[in-house]
Amino acid sequence: MDLSDALEDWPSGGNQSTGSGMWSGNNPNPNPNPNPTWPGQPQPNPTWPGQPSAGGPTWPGGQPTQPSWPSPQPTSGGGWPSPAPGPTPAPPSAPQRSLSVPYYHQLQNGVHDKMLITIVGTVNPNPQKITVDLNAGHDFAFHFNPRFNEDGHKVIVRNSCIGDKWGKEEREISNFPFVPGQRFEMKILCTNTEYRVAVNNSHIVEYKHRLPNLRAINRLSIYNDVTLHDVQVTRLP
């Protein structure tokens, strides 16, 4: 699948990777799944949000095939056992892992076309802001900064800082998807011309490259009012 196919069905809204996911040093799992999946739902052959896959489960937000619990099948010799009387115990909940914040991920191969960054976290209570940066040395190639109360407004500021000089801010958004105390999944897709950001399977913004040397971008940074559960850097097929 080429990039045009992957981006054709990008949902409408209002780096260290060479084909396998790479994790930072704070990640206790040295051998991640080479294909990005929705947390807790391993799915082969993923597609970008909103795009149907060929003969397999869809990317997060689609309709993955789930095995259904067998319904009773009465026969002359008996069928599937009926549930025992009384309340059904709830399944144990899986422990929720947290990563250290501030979080840093070295991108040894830089940023490249079809690189996908997936960030799963929970917004802290009473937040002021969340910051996600892609850095090239001391430069900020992409500064993504949701602010929860700037003069009474919720905004997402995007900008770049090159040679210690900040550029013009971009602030236009169709919606503000981050909610205090709630979990979110954010995806940043890099193309040859721009970054595309989706949150909870809904497209939010695009940001044109201002630092053209993508291979010089060597670090992902995430900090401020967020609890991180999962960060992956992979590559779309």
* pLDDT 10s digits, 153-183: 999 999 999 999 999 999 999 899 999 999 9
Q: Can you give the pLDDT at residue 82?
A: 44
Distance of CA 110 to the CA centre of its chain: 18
As to burial, measured by CB atoms within 10 angstroms (0-12 exposed, 13-18 middle, 19+ buried), residue 62 is middle
Alpha-carbon span 227 to 124, nearest angstrom:
6
DSSP state of 174: S
DSSP state of 207: E
Residue 62 has pLDDT above 70, yes or no: no
Mean pLDDT of 49-68: 43
Q: 228 has which bridge partners?
A: 99, 121
DSSP state of 99: B
Residue 59 has pLDDT above 90, yes or no: no
Alpha-carbon span 166 to 211, nearest angstrom:
12
Which of 21-35, 105-119, 126-140 bottoms out in mean pLDDT, i.e. has the lowest? 21-35
Q: Can you give the pLDDT at residue 50?
A: 52
Q: 155 has which bridge partners?
A: 147
Which of 59-63, 143-147, 223-227 bottoms out in mean pLDDT, i.e. has the lowest? 59-63
Structure tokens at 106: 């070295």
Domains of the chain are 100-235 (2.60.120.200)
Q: Can you give the pLDDT at residue 98?
A: 85
